[in-house]
Amino acid sequence: MKNIKPWPKPTGRPVDLPKRIRRPADYGLELAIMNLETQLGTIEAYNRLVEWAVHLRKRIDGGDAKAQNPLYAVSPTGE
């Protein structure tokens, strides 16, 4: 085994991660969550969100996932 030593100074230029693009659906989801929490309380709002997440997961696992709308894609090829 060789004696491995770290570089004394970091190499390269530190780069910040790009910010996530906020879509209109993100704001709608945020408002829906706030409404759930207001009407049902935090715990029940969480329970309902988990219930729907399980529902979406079942659709994904069943092969019934929907593709992203090209209108909201970052690039025309959906990358």
Asked whether 49 and 36 are in contact (CB, 8 A), the reply is yes
Asked whether residue 77 is assigned to any structural domain, the reply reads no
Asked whether residue 46 is assigned to any structural domain, the reply reads yes
Task: Give tens-digit pLDDT for 60-75.
Answer: 999 999 988 888 877 6
Asked whether residue 44 is assigned to any structural domain, the reply reads yes
pTM given for the model: 0.64
Domain count, the chain: 1
Both tokens of 70, joined, read: 């090209």
Asked whether residue 19 is assigned to any structural domain, the reply reads no
Task: Give tens-digit pLDDT for 22-40.
Answer: 888 899 999 999 999 999 9
Asked whether residue 2 is assigned to any structural domain, the reply reads no
- Domain of residue 37, residue span: 24-63
Asked whether residue 8 is assigned to any structural domain, the reply reads no
Sign of the torsion angle spanned by Cα atoms 72, 75, 77, 79: negative
Per-residue buried b or exposed e for 10-34, using 16+ beta carbons within 10 Å of the residue's own CB: eeeeeeeeeeeeeeeeeeeeeeeee
Asked whether residue 52 is assigned to any structural domain, the reply reads yes
